Structure 1
Amino acid sequence: MVQKHESLALLGAGVFDGLHEEIFENQAVLIRNQRIERIVPMQDYHRDPEYREIPLDGHWVMPGMIDCHVHLSGGRASVEEQELGLVSEPMLMRAIRSVYEAQAVLKRGFTAARDVSWNGLYLKRMFFEGVMPGPKVIACGPGLSRTGGHGDMFQFTEEYTKSHAVWGLMADGPEEVRKGVRRLLREGADQIKVWASGGDNWPHDRMGDVHYSAEELKMIVEEAHRQTGTGVMCHAENRESIKLALDAGVDTIEHGESLDEELVEQMKRQGTILIPTLELIVNWYRDFIPLSEDGPQSKIRPDTFLYRDLYLCRDHDFGRGYSQSAVDSFQLAVESGVKIGLGSDTVFEPLTRYGEYSAREYKALNQHGMTKFQALHAGTKVSSEAVGMADFIGTLEPGKLADLLVLRANPLEDIDAFYDEANIHMVLTDGRIAVQDGALLWGDPNRTAV
Structure 2
Amino acid sequence: MTEMKQYLITNCTLIDGCSNEARTNQNILIEDKKIAKISSQPISGVDAEVIDGQGKFVLPGLIDCHVHYGGTESPYCRDWVMESDIQQAMVSTAQCMKSLKHGFTTVRDISANGIYLRNMIKKGLLNGPRIVACGRGLSRTGGHGDSYEVPIEIVKRSHPWAVIADGQEEVRKAVRMLLREGSDCIKVWATGGGLWAWERETDQHYTYEELCVMVEEANYYGLPVASHCESAEGALASAKAGVTSIEHGEELSQECLEIMKEKDITLVPTIGLFFEWFSEYDPPIREGQQSFQGNTLGEKELNRIRTNFKAVYDMGIRIAVGADSFCDTLTPYGAYTHKEIHALVNAGMTPMEAIIAATKNGSILLGVNDITGTLEEGKFADLIMLEKDPLADIRNISRENIQLIMKEGTCI
TM-score, normalized by length of structure 2?
Answer: 0.94
Q: 1:366 and 2:345 equivalent?
A: yes
| Cα deviation digits, residues 300-328 of structure 1 (max 9, x gap) | xxxxxxxxxxxxxxxx9433333321221
State the Cα deviation string for residues 238-295 of structure 1 (Å, max 9, x = none).
11111110111000000111123322222111110001100112333456xx448xxx
C-alpha distance 239-227 of structure 1, shift in aligned 2 (>3 A): same
Q: Does the 8 Å contact 1:14/1:60 carry over to 2?
A: yes
1:364 CA displacement: 0.3
Letter in 1 for 2:98: A
Once residues 347 and 83 of structure 2 are traced to their aligned partners in structure 1, the CA distance between those partners, rounded to angstroms, is 38
- Residue pairs, 1:211-226, within 5 angstroms: 211-226=205-220
2:92 maps to amino acid: S
- Aligned partner of 1:251 in structure 2 is 244
Please name the residue that 2:70 is paired with: 73
Corresponding position of 2:176: 182
Q: What is the identity, as a one-letter code, of the residue corresponding to 1:354?
A: Y
Match of 1:426 among 381, 404, 409: 404
Deviation per CA, 1:341-390, whole angstroms, max 9, x where unpaired? 00101121211111111100000000111000110111111111111211
- 1:241 to 2:231 alignment: no
Work out whether residues 74 and 95 of structure 1, in 8 Å CA contact, stay in contact via their aligned partners in 2: yes
Corresponding position: 1:107 with 2:101: yes
User: What one-letter code is carried by the residue in structure 1 that aligns with 2:225?
Assistant: V
> What corresponds to 1:29 in structure 2?
28
What percent of counterpart residues are identical?
A: 39
Code of the residue aligned with 2:57 in structure 1: it is W
Aligned to 1:409: 388
The aligned counterpart of 2:292 is none
| Contact 2:236 2:255 (C-alpha < 8 Å) held by counterparts | no
- Amino acid across the alignment from 2:23: F
Letter in 2 for 1:122: Y
Q: Please, which of 231, 253, 261 is the counterpart of residue 254 of structure 2?
A: 261
Alignment of 1:194-213 (within 5 A): 194-213=188-207
Q: Distance in 1 between matches of 2:249 and 2:135?
A: 21
Please give the alpha-carbon distance, in whole angstroms, between the structure 2 residues aligned to 1:116 and 1:275: 14
Partners of 2:2 and 2:411 within 8 A in 1: no
SS in 2 for 1:353: coil
Alignment match, 2:46: 48
Q: 2:17 aligns to what?
A: 18
| Structure 1 portions without partners, runs of 5+ | 298-315, 435-450
- Is the 1:5–1:34 contact (alpha carbons within 8 Å) kept by the matching residues of 2? no
Separation (CA, whole Å) in 2 of partners of 1:136 and 1:21: 26
Q: Report if the CA contact (8 A) 1:117-1:141 is conserved.
A: yes
Question: Does the 8 Å contact 1:194/1:234 carry over to 2?
Answer: yes
Q: Deviations over 1:38-80 (max 9, x none)?
A: 211133x12312x2222222211110110110111211225xx
Distance 2:145 2:121 in 1: 27
Tell me which residue corresponds to 1:283: 276
Alpha-carbon offset, residue 119 of structure 1: 1.2
**Does the 8 Å contact 2:78/2:147 carry over to 1?**
no
Q: What amino acid does structure 2 have at the position aligned with 1:271?
A: D
Checking the alignment, whether the CA contact within 8 Å between 1:11 and 1:42 is kept in structure 2 is no
Residue of structure 2 equivalent to 1:388: 367
Residue 56 of structure 2 corresponds to 59
**Contact preservation (8 Å) 1:68, 1:387:** yes
Tell me by how many angstroms 1:4 deviates.
Answer: 7.3
Secondary structure in structure 2 of the residue aligned to 1:350: coil
Contact 1:22 1:412 in 2 (8 A): no
- Secondary structure in 2 matching 1:233: strand
Question: Counterparts of 1:110 and 1:147 in 2: how far apart (Å)?
Answer: 34
Letter in 2 for 1:427: I
Question: Any runs of at least 4 consecutive aligned residues in structure 1 with deviations exceeding 4 A, and if so which?
Answer: 2-5
Q: Paired residue for 1:440?
A: none
User: Counterpart amino acid of 1:68?
Assistant: C
Q: Distance in 1 between matches of 2:367 and 2:51?
A: 31
Aligned-residue CA RMSD in angstroms?
1.9
Q: TM-score, normalised by structure 1?
A: 0.86
Whole-Å separation in 1 of the counterparts to 2:279 and 2:390: 29
Counterpart CA distance in 1 for 2:160 and 2:134 is: 12
> May I ask how many residue pairs the two structures share in their alignment?
404
Letter in 2 for 1:365: L
Asked whether 1:336 is paired with 2:315, we answer: yes
The equivalent residue for 1:376 is 355
The answer to whether the 8 Å contact 1:108/1:418 transfers is: no
Secondary structure (helix, strand or coil) at the match of 1:376 reads helix
